[in-house]
Amino acid sequence: MFRTLAVGVAAYVVPGVTVTDLWGAVVAAIVLGILNTIVRPVLLFLTLPINILSLGLFTLVINTVIVLIAAEVVPGFGVSGFWAAFWFSLALTVVNWFLDKSS
């Protein structure tokens, strides 16, 4: 429930990200959760040397790639480009943090 709200709020705040309806936000939250559980650890392992050299900042790029993959898979969720996905992933992190702190 909170993840769907976070996707909706982050999509509202970041220009270039569209969520057509509540169903799109729900499916986007589910797909993002699945991708973060399965694909993200693999990408983190494969990019470990780059991540170490960048002091962990490359993780932001990995988060952006996860959002772009989700935008391709989910029909009601759209991202216009790399930078929109980058800012969406940052906004999603902040909104999730805020919702986790408030509950």
> Among candidates 73, 86, 75, which has minimal Cα distance to 38?
73
Say what the pTM is. 0.92
Answer whether 16's CB lies under 8 Å from 80's CB.
yes
Structure confidence by residue, pLDDT tens digits, 36-46:
999 999 999 99
Nearest Cα neighbor of 71 from 24, 37, 38, 36 is 24
Q: Could you report the per-residue pLDDT of 85-99, keeping only the tens digit for each?
A: 999 999 999 999 998
